Amino acid sequence: MKIILLYGGQSAEHDISVISAHNIAQQIMYNYYDVQPIFIRRDGVWIKGAPLTEAPSTSGELILEAAEIAQWSQKADTASTGIVIQPGSIYEEDTIVFPALHGPNGEDGTIQGFLEVLNMPYVGAGVTASAAGMDKTISKYIFSQVGIPQVPFEAFDRQAWLNSKDELINKCEGSLLYPMFVKPANMGSSVGISKVENVEELANAVELALKYDFRIVVEQGINADEVEVAILGNADAHVSVVGKLVKEQSFYDYDNKYLNNSVSMQIPAELPEAVAEKIQEYALLAYRAIDGRGLSRCDFFVTANNDIYINEINTMPGFTPYSMYPVLWQGTGLGTRDLVEELIQLGLRHFEAKKALTADRF
């Protein structure tokens, strides 16, 4: 069977995607699969590289360039070459796609919808879960409906900000306390997120967030630990142990998380057993509420009084060697190679189940 490893993309999380793809490529069982790398450049061009017969030694080998460009590129000595293709040409029988894409145009249902149209099996969540999980506003409304506690928040869009900036600032200050966190509704990995302590910082943070999305979420900041749970499975999903971010500062931005790698983790988290079990229960509830499939990582806040608040759910979490998702499963007893294989099998099983469901309609 062939695996198409799809990575890169047009989102601000492009670089994380490449690192995730490299880590996944290290874990694939090459004696069972042919692996086809397909790199999506930042400008949206798809490049098909040579099939992988073994794991690439560096993530740089996965940054593909079109052959005609590589001839004169200054990066020609480090970049692999490939050919430009049309996205629809990836279709092949006996092939599953592993979309190691994070953020918009990858984790938000767009790629998933494209693969549904091609009628190809793929790893991870479907269109509904991907779109709902990516959009912080929509997911908050869903979590509210199923009774998962959340911190207070306000949500609005770009047009409302342009029309009623002062009114929205007053609304935020009237219902929330500083510090607040301002977030683009559709972005991950702390991209475009700001912690604000006053009205001037609030206005500037909204302007920053609007550079990444048309919609904004402003959340009440609280003094709490950040904990995370990994989820694996389709209808019979399982949860990992709970892990905690061990923080030396109150807020970690993109650079801290992915470039400096300055975030350490406590696995399992030192929590009362009943609290850890409740977090796992909420994680599964959130997963099922958005129609999760394959994998997700669910993030929570836990206060000193052991109050629990859901933060977000990520349907294609980072898969770098130091990302919480694979590390949580390692702490639960499932190695990353077996984890990757299980994700592939989950994608195939769902595809076969969907075919069986629709077989009698035609």
pLDDT at 87 over 70: yes
- Residue 331 tokens read as 């702490």
130: in domain: no
pLDDT at 344 over 80: yes
Q: Pick out the residues of the known binding site for Mg(2+).
A: 299, 312, 314
Residue among 80, 189, 240, 296 flagged as catalytic: 189
127: in domain: no
Residue with the larger pLDDT of the pair 33 and 361? 33
**Would you call 323 a catalytic residue per the annotation?**
yes
As a whole number of angstroms, the distance between CA 157 and CA 183 comes to 12
**Would you call 189 a catalytic residue per the annotation?**
yes
147: in domain: no
Q: How many domains does the chain have?
A: 3
As a whole number of angstroms, the distance between CA 84 and CA 1 comes to 23
Residue among 11, 13, 59, 107 flagged as catalytic: 13
pLDDT at 319 over 70: yes
Range of the domain at 42: 2-122
Which residues touch 270 (CB under 8 Å, ≥6 apart)? 244
360: in domain: no
**For position 256, what pLDDT does the model report?**
55
Same domain, 281 and 344: yes
Give me the CATH number covering residue 209: 3.30.1490.20
**For position 188, what pLDDT does the model report?**
65
pLDDT in tens, 156-209: 999 999 999 999 999 999 999 999 999 999 876 577 899 999 999 999 999 999
Residues 285/148, Cβ–Cβ less than 8 Å: yes
Give the number of other Cβ atoms within 10 Å of residue 19's Cβ. 20
Q: Pick out the residues of the known binding site for ATP.
A: 136, 181-183, 189-190, 219-226, 311-312
56: in domain: yes
Residue among 80, 296, 323, 342 flagged as catalytic: 323
359: in domain: no
Same domain, 251 and 332: yes
Mean pLDDT of 336-357: 96
Where among 198, 220, 242 does a domain terminate? 220
pLDDT in tens, 100-133: 999 888 999 999 999 999 999 999 999 999 999 9
What does the DSSP 8-state code read for residue 110?
Answer: H
Give me the CATH number covering residue 242: 3.30.470.20
Q: Pick out the residues of the known binding site.
A: 136, 181-183, 189-190, 219-226, 299, 311-312, 314
* Dihedral, CA of residue 142, residue 144, residue 148 and residue 150, to nearest 10: 110
pLDDT in tens, 14-27: 999 999 999 999 99
**Would you call 13 a catalytic residue per the annotation?**
yes
- Residue 87 tokens read as 């996205």
Give me the CATH number covering residue 88: 3.40.50.20
